[in-house]
Each structure stands twice: as C-alpha cells, then as structure tokens.
Amino acid sequence: VIVPRKNRLLRGLSPDAKQFDAEALCRDYLGYAEQMRPHVVNATQLLHDGLRAGKNILFEAAQGSLLDVDHGTYPYVTSSNSSTAGVWSGSGVPSRRLDRVVGIIKAYSTRVGRGPFPTELNDDIGERIRRTGREYGTVTGRPRRCGWFDAVAVRYTAAIGDADEMALMLLDVLSEVDEVRIAVAYELDGQRIDYFPSDAFLLERCKPVYETLPGWRQDVSGAKRQADLPAAARRYIDRLSELLQLPISIVSVGPDRDQTIYLR
C-alpha cells in the first residue's frame, strides 16, 4: 500500500524519478533484521538484572532539556522527553534508582531552529563563537544560534533534571572574547524576574539582565588542571557555579579526551 503511494509522489515530482521496488526493499530489510537480531534484547530486564547485581549503569540523554515536550519551550520542542525524565520513561528504570545526575552545559548558549532565545548574539561575537565552536547541525549543517550563557535557563533545566553537578564544555571557545557576559535574570515587561517563564511567548518578551566579567584572551586548550587556567577563566567557572547553586565538576577545554579537567 505504501510503496505505490510513494512512487506516485515521486512521479509527481519528476517523471524520470527512480521507483521503489517493494520486493527488493523487503529483502533488504529482512537482511538488516538478521544482522540486528543478535543485538536485540529485553532492555528493561537487562537493566534491572544489572541493578540487582550491583553494576554501574550510565544513561546518556540526547538534545537539550529546553526541547523537552513537557517542560521545554513549547511549541518549539521535540516529540519526546529530552530531560532526565526521558531516562525512566525510555528505559523502565525508576527515577529513585538514579544516584548521580550530571548536567552537561556549554560555556555559552546555543539553539537550533526557531524559538525564544533571550541571550542570542546577532553580531560579530555570535559569529565568532559559532565559527570557533563549530556550531553547525550534525546532520543538516545548519548554523546554530549562539549567545551568552543564560544562568536563568540553565538553573531551570538543572532543577527539572534534578542535577547533582554540572560539566562545563567548550570553555576554550570563549578565549577569543575580551569580556564574557552572563544572564543572571530577565526583564519582563519592565519587571525583573529570576525565574524561567513556562510560557514560550512570555519568554520571547524577556530581555536578559547581564553581569559582565573580564575575558582571558589566552589559549586554554592545553590546560591539564584547574590551576593551569587563567584567573579570569577560573572566576568565570566559579561564578557560574554560584549562580547555578551547583558544583561544576568537569571542565572541557577542547574536543579530545585528554582536554578534560576534573575539578572534584
């Protein structure tokens, strides 16, 4: 039923379009199924067996928490739970079995596609961050929107994700700027607020209230420990931790494994 419909659609786009062969597709995908068969298990049972055996289990989420269908900037969201809630809804492991949650954040803010973005930088600094951080979509290559670190938004996502600590990525990207800014609050219709609005259309009206810190204008990609970082970079990390009210336990200064600094 589906293949003839798709073939008609292709012919409508171009009379010379190559047509799908239903039998060939079926053979191909049955072959794929045989390759996958040895790797298909009852994942929930496997995980609970591991828990009972005292094994360490690591869950890794995809996409940002503000794309969460329930707690994100609806309607500019994905179709599932991209926050920590996606762990138990997707795995069958209850939330109380998680004993450590590490929130992954960038040293600046990014967004792909439409949606409110109070700290967005539509200037040379935003372009510099995009270029240095290689902020382009993995699949589409679409440029990501870049902006200053939004402590209000990150504090909210850390709360809904029940984060115990944070891992700060891409600190090296900010080495090219003279000063760094952090959104510590919003201004909504003339009123200062320190919470993240649940209504995306209210968020669109929010203006960031910034705190400015000196930049470090120094390559940090070779730093191996916290003491190797410039004083201004260490102050930036400390200030983010203060604003988020959470420890920052990991700092990344480059894409390689050996460019990771463990602070605790």
pLDDT in tens, 147-164: 999 999 999 999 999 999
Tokens of 254: 């480059």
Q: Is 173 exposed, middle or buried (0-12, 13-18, 19+ CB in 10 A)?
A: buried
Q: 183-216, pLDDT tens digit by residue? A: 999 999 999 999 999 999 999 999 999 999 999 9
Q: Where are the beta strands (DSSP E) in the chain?
A: 102-106, 109-111, 145-147, 149-150, 165-169, 179-188, 191-193, 207-214, 248-252, 260-262
pLDDT of residue 141: 85
- Strand, helix or coil for residue 109: strand
218-228 average pLDDT score: 96
- Secondary structure of 240-258 as H, E, C letters: HHHHHCCCEEEEECCCCHH
Residues ≥6 apart with Cβ < 8 Å to 247: 165, 166, 241, 263, 264
Query: What confidence score (pLDDT) does residue 1 get?
Result: 78
Domains in the chain, ordered, with CATH?
Answer: 1-40 (no CATH), 100-264 (3.90.170.10)
By CB atoms closer than 10 A (0-12, 13-18, 19+), residue 225 is: exposed
Write down the pLDDT at residue 33: 97
DSSP 199: S
CA–CA dist 47, 26 (Å, integer): 32
Residues 6+ away with beta carbon under 8 Å from 130: 136, 143, 144, 146
Task: Determine the average pLDDT of the residues in 2-12.
Answer: 92
Q: Cα–Cα distance between 56 and 52 in angstroms, integer?
A: 10
The stretch 129-133 carries a mean pLDDT of 96
SS3 238: helix
Q: Confidence class of residue 264 from pLDDT cuts 50, 70 and 90?
A: confident
Residue 208 to residue 164: CA distance in whole angstroms = 26
- Selected residue with higher pLDDT from 141 and 179: 179
Question: What are the structure tokens assigned to 85, written together?
Answer: 């809630």
How many other C-beta atoms are found inside a 10 Å radius of the C-beta of residue 224? 12
Place of tokens 């786009």: 13
Torsion over CA of 139, 131, 179 and 151, rounded to 10 degrees?
Answer: 0
